[in-house]
Amino acid sequence: MAFVTRQFVRSMSSSTAAASAKKILVKHVTVIGGGLMGAGIAQVAAATGHTVVLVDQTEDILAKSRKGIEESLRKVAKKKFAENPKGADEFVAKTLSSISTSTDAASVVHSTDLVVEAIVENLQVKNELFKRLDKFAAEHTIFASNTSSLQITSLANSTTRQDRFAGLHFFNPVPLMKLVEVIKTPMTSQKTFESLLDFSRALGKHPVACKDTPGFIVNRLLVPYLMEAVRLCERGEASKEDIDTAMKLGAGYPMGPFELLDYVGLDTTKFILDGWHEMDSKNPLFQPCPSLDKLVAEKKFGKKSGEGFYKYK
C-alpha cells in the first residue's frame, strides 16, 4: 500500500509540475508606445486575432498612430484581397475593431497576457515604466521589451517578475519583416520563453532565440559591419559610393552600408554603438567613429533629416 501511495503522490506531483509549466496562450496584448514600432506590433497582433490595447502619453499621438495603422492595413488588404474589395474592407474594419487605445498604462495591464514595451531607448525611462506596471499587472502577465540595444536583464531587474520577462525584438517595418528575436535572460523561465516563441509564430513571424548579449543577433553582426565601412572610408581606402556599390554588386545586398546607415538613422546607430562602448570599452568593434559623431553633432541623421552621409531632397 505504501508503494502504491508513493506512486500516486509521484504521479500527482508530476501532473502538478506539468500544469504549472503550461505555456501561456497570449490573447490580450498591451503595447506601450504608439510610434512606428509600437503601432506596427499592435497592427500585426490585431490582424492575427489578438485583442490589443495601444498606449501612449497623449490622445493626439494615439490618433496619429491609429491613422498610420489604418493606412498600413489598407496597403496590406489591397494585396491580400486583390480580387475582393469587400473582403479588404472587412479585414481592415475587423482589425481596427480589435485595437483600443489608452493614455493610462496602469489601468489596462491588469487583464492583459503580454505587455510589449516600444518606447524611447532610455534605460531609466524604461525601468520606471516597468517598475510601475509591475504593481498593476496580473501575476501571469509576461513583460517584454522591443529594445534593440539595451540589456534585457537590466530591464527585468526593475520588476519582481524576472522569470516572466524577456526581449521581443521586432524589425521595421513590422508588418513586412518576418523576423522576431526572442531574448532569454538567465532568469527567464522556459515557460515564458516558449510562450513568446508561440506568440511570435501566431503573428506569422519567424522567431529566433538569443541570449542577452549586446545587439542580440542581427545588430551584433550588422552594426560592426556598418562601422567598418565607415572606418574604411575614414582611412581614405575607398569612397562611400564605391563601398556601397561594391556591397550591392559583390555581396548581393539590397543597400550599401552608407545607404543603410542613412535609412536607419545615424543618431540611432550612434546611440547603439555608444551603449556598447560603455559596456565594453576595450572591444575594438565598439569603438566610436569620428565621422559618424560629427554628422550626428551637426544633426545630420540621414533620410529623416534630409542629410546624412548622403543628401536627400
Residue 218, CA distances (Å) to 182, 263, 265 in order: 12, 16, 16
Closest CA to 52 of 34, 71, 78: 34
- Taking CA atoms, 297 is separated from 154, 230, 250, 266, 304, in Å, by 28, 16, 33, 10, 15
Q: Which residues are annotated as a binding site for NAD(+)?
A: 33-38, 56, 121, 126, 148, 172, 304
For the chain, the maximum distance between any two Cα atoms, rounded to a whole number of angstroms, is 85
Active site residue 157: no
Q: Binding site residues for CoA, as ranges?
A: 72, 79, 148
Name the residue type at position 216: F
Active-site residue flag, 122:
no
Q: Which of 98, 145, 148, 195 is catalytic?
A: 148
Q: Could you give the CA distance from residue 230 to residue 222 in angstroms, rounded to a whole number?
A: 13
H helices within the chain, ranges in order?
A: 2-20, 36-47, 59-80, 85-97, 105-108, 123-134, 152-156, 190-202, 218-234, 240-250, 257-264, 266-279, 290-297
Active site residue 145: no
CA-CA distance, 74 to 79, in Å (whole number)? 9
Whole-angstrom Cα distance, residue 313 to residue 308? 12
- The Cα 264–Cα 78 span in angstroms is 27
Selected catalytic residue, list 98, 146, 158, 169: 169
Question: Which three cell numbers, joined as nine digits, stand for 137?
Answer: 499587472
Q: Of these residues, 145, 158, 195, 219, which one is catalytic?
A: 219
Binding site residue list: 33-38, 56, 72, 79, 121, 126, 148, 172, 304
CA distance 263 to 309: 10
Catalytic residue list contains 117: no
List the beta bridge partners of residue 304.
Answer: none
Catalytically annotated residue among 181, 195, 200, 259: 181
Residues tagged active-site? 148, 169, 181, 219
